[in-house]
Each structure stands twice: as structure tokens, then as C-alpha cells.
């Protein structure tokens, strides 16, 4: 590896996803001299348009939304000091069951082998030592997150180049804390119905099943600012409402499940590059 830098590749579904679950590690490892590569799979065209307009609203133009979000994505990358941004530019599928998820050209409708082949080409080019993406449920069931997981795992099989692979996750103790804080900020928020509450309770993992806890406290300001760069989606980014100091207290650790390792590094670990340096 003397002829190339250690490299982290994060594969995400939409503009702004890079900030939420991996903004801390992207900023931290960039500061440590590691090459950071972000692959964003969709154009984000199903995000909010002017005045918070949603897909299907006459004011919502997916192409215009995608153009705005592309600029915001670059601004976020600048904040996080990401070395290389690669965009696959598939059409945002929106949520499961939306008409957009069935549309030709939507990421959710793209054959996995097609997306995987494109991603595999990027892996061969960058030769990442660590790859991070979502779990098989896309963390919370979003079709584009699930598809990002599928093409990433398929691309890794095609290339067999990457020593360590991780899925983003969150400890359930922290998920409960998020619920408490959301109710603190939204006192009139109704309690979820039993089915919704049961589904929410399954998001994340029990604390003792998490393999990797990375301290990113020193970079929480960058993470907050990278989220803020996605200003057009501010209505949906709850974390911005709590302010930077509170955000740093709550979001100072990023957690992962290690699903591939060729280094023999012991778990639990506190560094995605344990065993590589």
C-alpha cells in the first residue's frame, strides 16, 4: 500500500445521507490523511421542492430539485473534506409504494447487476480498504437504501479487493434517546400506533451486537454543517433543530457492524481502519 493512500469508500443512496450516518467518519478520516470517496447513487429528485413541496405537487419539479441537491451535495463534500465524489445519478425512487418507485429508470427498478457493475468499476479504480454502506433493510426500509446495499455487496463480490466492509447502524439505546428528544422538541407529537412502534423498535441493533464505535466528537461541527448544507431538505432534517452543541453531544459517536474483515482486528473496535495501519 506504499504507493497509494488508505481509502474509505462510503456508498449512499441520496444527497444528505452521507452526512447523517457517516459525516463524522468521513471528516475524521479525511483529517487523518485517508482518501475519502463518496458514491451517491440517486439524484435526490424526490426530495422537497420549493416551499416544502412534495412529489406530485404541481410546484415539484424533480429535475429542478435534483439540480439543487447536486449543488448541496458538493457543498457538503467540501465541508467534510471528501477527496472524491462519484454520482451514479439514478432517478430517486421515493418511498416504498410511491409511483416514482415503479417508474422506469428509478434506482429501485434498476437491475442489481447493472448498478453493481458500475460500482465495481469505481472500486477497481479507487481500491478502497474500507467500504461502508447500509444493511440489507437499508437501515429503515427505504427502497433506495436497500438497493444501495444490494449493489454494494454485489460489487464487492465482483472485485474481492476490499479488506474491511461495514454496515451503518445505531444502538437501540440511542434510538430510544432520539425518541425522547423528538418528543422534547415536539410536545404535541402523538404516540405512534402499536404497529409503527413495533417497527421503530426494530431499527438499529442491541448495543452488544455493534462491533465498531468510532469517536467523531471532534468533527461533530463539520457533520452539523454538512447537514445544514442540504438546506432545501431542512424540514426533514430533525437534527438541525437541536442546535450544534446539543447535536455534538448526541451525535459524537458513529456505529457500525463489521461484516467482512481480512485483518484479524479484534472486536469491538474503535477504528474502521484497525488492522490496516
pLDDT at 182: 65
Q: Let me know if residue 1 belongs to a domain.
A: no
Model confidence pLDDT, tens digit, residues 139-195:
888 999 999 999 999 999 999 999 999 999 988 887 777 666 666 665 555 666 666
Taking the C-alpha atoms of residue 105 and residue 108, their distance in angstroms, rounded to an integer, is 8
For 44, the domain range is 7-173+206-260
Residue numbers in the chain where pLDDT is lower than 70: 1-2, 178-202, 236
pLDDT at 185: 63
Would you mind telling me the total number of residues written for the chain in this entry? 277
Asked if residue 217 lies in contact with residue 247, where contact means CB atoms within 8 angstroms, the answer is: no
CA distances from 266 to 80, 132, 211, 275 (A): 28, 18, 9, 9
pLDDT at 187: 55
pLDDT at 247: 84
pLDDT at 189: 57
Q: Let me know if residue 200 belongs to a domain.
A: no
- DSSP helix/strand/coil, 108: helix
Asked if residue 260 lies in contact with residue 156, where contact means CB atoms within 8 angstroms, the answer is: yes
Q: What is the DSSP letter of 55?
A: T
pTM (two decimals): 0.91
Q: Let me know if residue 211 belongs to a domain.
A: yes
Provide the number of structural domains found in the chain.
1
Q: Let me know if residue 60 belongs to a domain.
A: yes
Interstrand relation of 7-12 and 130-133 (parallel, antiparallel or unpaired): parallel
Q: Let me know if residue 185 belongs to a domain.
A: no
**Residue 8: which H helix or E strand, with range?**
strand 7-12
Q: Let me know if residue 187 belongs to a domain.
A: no
- DSSP helix/strand/coil, 212: strand
Q: Let me know if residue 243 belongs to a domain.
A: yes
Residue 37 maps to which CATH number? 3.40.50.10320
Output the CA torsion sign for 221, 222, 223, 225: positive
Amino acid at each position: 500500500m506504499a504507493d497509494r493512500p488508505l481509502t474509505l469508500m462510503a456508498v449512499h443512496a441520496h444527497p444528505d445521507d452521507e452526512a447523517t450516518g457517516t459525516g463524522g467518519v468521513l471528516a475524521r478520516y479525511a483529517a487523518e490523511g485517508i482518501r475519502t470517496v463518496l458514491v451517491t447513487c440517486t439524484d435526490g429528485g424526490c426530495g422537497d421542492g420549493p416551499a416544502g413541496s412534495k412529489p406530485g405537487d404541481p410546484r415539484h419539479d424533480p429535475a429542478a430539485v435534483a439540480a439543487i441537491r447536486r449543488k448541496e451535495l458538493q457543498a457538503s463534500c467540501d465541508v467534510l473534506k471528501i477527496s472524491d465524489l462519484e454520482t451514479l445519478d439514478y432517478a430517486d425512487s421515493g418511498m416504498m409504494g410511491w409511483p416514482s418507485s415503479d417508474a422506469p429508470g428509478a434506482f429501485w427498478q434498476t437491475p442489481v447487476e447493472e448498478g453493481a457493475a458500475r460500482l465495481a468499476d469505481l472500486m477497481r479504480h479507487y481500491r478502497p480498504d474500507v467500504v461502508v454502506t447500509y444493511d440489507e433493510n437499508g437501515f429503515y426500509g427505504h427502497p433506495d437504501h436497500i438497493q444501495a446495499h444490494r449493489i454494494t455487496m454485489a460489487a464487492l463480490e465482483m472485485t474481492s479487493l476490499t479488506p474491511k466492509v461495514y454496515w451503518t447502524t445505531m444502538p437501540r439505546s440511542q434510538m430510544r434517546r432520539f425518541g425522547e428528544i423528538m418528543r422534547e422538541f415536539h410536545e404535541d407529537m402523538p404516540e405512534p400506533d402499536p404497529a409503527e412502534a413495533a417497527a421503530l423498535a426494530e431499527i438499529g441493533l442491541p448495543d452488544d451486537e455493534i462491533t465498531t464505535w468510532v469517536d467523531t466528537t471532534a468533527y461533530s461541527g463539520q457533520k452539523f454543517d454538512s447537514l445544514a448544507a442540504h438546506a432545501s431538505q431542512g424540514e426533514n432534517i430533525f437534527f438541525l433543530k437541536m442546535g450544534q452543541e446539543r447535536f455534538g453531544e448526541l451525535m459524537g459517536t458513529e456505529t457500525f457492524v463489521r461484516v467482512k474483515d481480512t485483518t484479524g482486528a479484534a472486536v469491538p473496535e474503535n477504528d474502521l481502519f484497525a488492522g490496516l495501519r
